[in-house]
Amino acid sequence: MDENTNTGIPSDSNIKPNFKEKLNAFFQLPSIFHGTLMGLVLLAAKVVFYITQNWSFVFEAPFMFFSFALLVYAVYMANKAEKTIYGRAFTYWKAFLSGFRVMSIAIFISILADGILYEIDNDLSSQTVQIQIEKSVEAFKNISFMKEIDKDKIIKELKKQDPSSLSALTGALIGKILSNSVFLFLTSIFFRFKRKHNDWLNAPENEG
């Protein structure tokens, strides 16, 4: 008999975790770790580009692909670890939320790096605008269906923007999280716990 039965003291299995314990458990999730790690990698890369006067590389396709590949790998590692923790309870939505945490944290740290660098160097914002204009002009050369007046409007809008503003940084954060998270709807199908065809044989009701 349980020692706590006669004393009226609830056993440890019936004690609900308090807010602090839940918070500690949340921050110990693999998705928090991998999201933070990838965010710091992206932050470090941007600082290196800035220090070495290669800020334009942040907007190059190779770095964008590298960043996305890192995020995908981080999502995979987090999902793999959390599937081990949750087991059969690691449903599609748990897999999605795990990946979403990775994406959100990593992108937040990356955008935070932009904000810090813009704050340190006031000229970096105008440099970013100039790079974006040059990239747009280069892209327009391969677009024949767009009218010149429409191209001019886009360039004018780019000249007006301030990448260092809070609204611009917030917009970039939300836009990148949403765009990068679209693929999670697909990957979560593969990362979730999938029951095997013969799992019903091991169910308690089918034993004996």
Q: Is residue 34 part of a domain?
A: yes
Q: Is residue 149 part of a domain?
A: no
Q: What is the pTM of this model?
A: 0.77
Tens place of pLDDT per residue across the chain (208 aa): 454 444 444 445 566 777 677 667 767 888 999 999 999 999 999 999 999 999 999 999 999 999 999 999 999 999 899 888 888 878 888 889 999 999 999 999 999 999 999 999 989 999 999 998 888 888 777 777 777 787 788 888 888 888 999 999 999 999 999 988 888 887 778 777 666 555 544 544 454 4
Q: Residue 201: is it exposed, middle or buried by C-beta count within 10 angstroms (0-12/13-18/19+)?
A: exposed
Task: Spell out the residues 6+ positions from residue 129 whose beta carbon is closer than 8 angstroms to its own.
Answer: 158, 159, 161, 163
Q: Is residue 176 part of a domain?
A: yes
Q: Cα–Cα distance between 170 and 180 in angstroms, integer? A: 15
Residue 193 DSSP one-character state: -
Instruction: Print the domain residue range for 88.
Output: 30-122+164-193
Q: Is residue 182 part of a domain?
A: yes
Q: Cα–Cα distance between 114 and 125 in angstroms, integer? A: 9
Residue 10 DSSP one-character state: P
Q: Is residue 84 part of a domain?
A: yes
Tokens for 130, please give them: 């100039």
Q: Is residue 19 part of a domain?
A: no
Number of structural domains in the chain: 1
Q: Residue 107: is it exposed, middle or buried by C-beta count within 10 angstroms (0-12/13-18/19+)?
A: buried
Tokens for 154, please give them: 């886009």
Question: What angle do the packed helices 123-140 and 148-160 form, to 10 degrees?
Answer: 170
Q: Is residue 144 part of a domain?
A: no
Q: Is residue 143 part of a domain?
A: no
